Amino acid sequence: MTHEGEKKLSIIVPVYNVERYIRSCVESIFRQGLDDSDFELILVNDGTQDNSFGVIADIIDSHQNIRILEQKNSGPSIARNNGIEQAVGTYLLFVDSDDLLIDNCLAKMLDIALAKSADLLVGDYLRLTDEEIAEAQYDINLGDVIQEKTGYELYLGDLNPYECYVWRILYKRSFLLNYNIFFTSNGFYYEDIPFVHECYLKAGKCILINQIVYIYRRGHVSITSSYNLRKAMDLNESIEKLWNFQNLPDIPPDIRKRIKDNTFVTLSFGLWCVSHNDALLPEWKTIVDDLKRRVPDLWFSHGLKQLFVSTMFRYIPGSYLKIRSIIKFRNEET
């Protein structure tokens, strides 16, 4: 039950230069089997410079449950934080403005979350290109498997550190506010990583459903070619936050070990991106020095690979990155 002025659900969508995709995104939100009185759609104008709002003006005029928040271009983290603070929904869902929701998935998700009073409800997703989205027939009948877990169980059994996506999860808003869980205020990129980790680590009752709920629009720009100094510095901030989660009170040893393992995965991803981007290699010292300043005790010892990378990173990071770059070059030649 909600109080007067509240909704069952708030859907938060940052909007920045997405006039090509925003209409299909918003249209999918209104194909969820929900009455407009049940939810609100918060569109956060992140200083968009194109006609994103013009192409959905008719939709905005047709629905009384759409709110627009204005901010200067500050990135999705700030946009989502503003949405969290302004939302009135019992549950929150974050949707990226170039993605889609599977038709008629939210009504079921919301009913389960409300009935169970879950802190988090996690669904599945598809990763598709523009062409695949246009042509695909979505098979979402995966069955009705519903698993109830603690946050720790979800963290150990279901969190893939390579797939920390915030948009596949329904969040109880009171849970986020009670634990003061917000997105990092400084970074534009990789803000999902510490946010999802923190939610899993602090959640009580969680629900995992065997249902595809979201379509992630896969881009055509390679990860390495688009990786730049700003992204590297933002990833350093995420690594720092992950590492510090070990200091949360009463963390069990198996959870602390997994936190370190996931931090190692994130560090390895960053080192891989730097070593595979010739344009960024000259910046390696700036990137490494920043991370060492943030996490001076960064060290991993679970297995030979972690020990090797930790030793190389701590003592001869430049040589290590150069070796990885040479290996990459030779692999491309063969």
Cβ burial of 79 (10 Å; 0-12, 13-18, 19+) is buried
- The pLDDT score that the predictor gives to residue 171 is 98
User: Sorting pLDDT into bands at 50, 70 and 90, what band is 278?
Assistant: confident
- The pLDDT score that the predictor gives to residue 99 is 95
Site of tokens 């634990």: 179
**Res 306 pLDDT > 90:** yes
Residue 261, token pair as written in the block: 């393992």
CA angle 188, 194, 199 (to 5 degrees): 125
User: Sorting pLDDT into bands at 50, 70 and 90, what band is 334?
Assistant: very low
User: Sorting pLDDT into bands at 50, 70 and 90, what band is 189?
Assistant: confident
pLDDT in tens, 46-100: 999 999 999 999 999 999 999 999 999 988 999 999 999 999 999 999 999 999 9
Instruction: Answer whether 0.75 is exceeded by the pTM.
Output: yes
Label each residue of 217-270 as H, E or C. Answer: ECCCCCHHHHCCHHHHHHHHHHHHHHHHHHHCCCCCHHHHHHHHHHHHHHHHHH
Any idea of the CA torsion for 248, 249, 254, 259, to the nearest 10 degrees? 0
**Res 282 pLDDT > 80:** yes
pLDDT in tens, 289-304: 999 999 999 999 999 9
Tell me phi and psi for residue 206, to 5 degrees.
-130, 150
User: Sorting pLDDT into bands at 50, 70 and 90, what band is 165?
Assistant: very high
User: Sorting pLDDT into bands at 50, 70 and 90, what band is 325?
Assistant: confident
Inter-CA distances, 324 with 176, 207, 267, 282, Å: 40, 41, 14, 14
